[in-house]
A = this chain, B = another copy of it.
Amino acid sequence: MYGLIGKIKSVEGKRDELIGILTASTGEMPGCLSYVVARDPDDAEAVWITEVWESQAAHRASLQIPEVKAAIAAGMALIDSFDVHISTEPVGGHGLKPAKS
């Protein structure tokens, strides 16, 4: 499995709009086992995204899905900075959905 932990800061006042885009586009991504979008309670512009994918290849492939490309294009205008970007190797746990293929 392949994981990502990221922190993005929105343009001031645009966090909710950015979250709306991030959560709207995550329904049906092949190989996506978990994709959680969260507010940072201590930073009005910060968004945490934690992801689990079947493989790094599945994550890369998702970036070519038309809906995802459109979401990235729309989201970029609302993003001020990428503050944290950590790759992980998930090994197990609870709540990982069976992958859609």
Contact = CB atoms under 8 A, between A and B. Distances in A.
Interface in A46-75: 48, 50, 52
Residue from the set A34, A35, A37, A94 with the largest chain B CB neighbour count within 10 Å: A94
A23 B88 contact: no
Contact of A36 (B26, B34, B37): B34
A23 B93 contact: yes
A39 interface: yes
Given A5-B48, A52-B36, A41 B94 contact: no
Contact of A95 (B5, B39, B52): B52
Contact of A91 (B32, B39, B94): B39
Interface of A: 1, 3, 5, 19, 22-23, 26-27, 29, 32-41, 48, 50, 52, 86-97
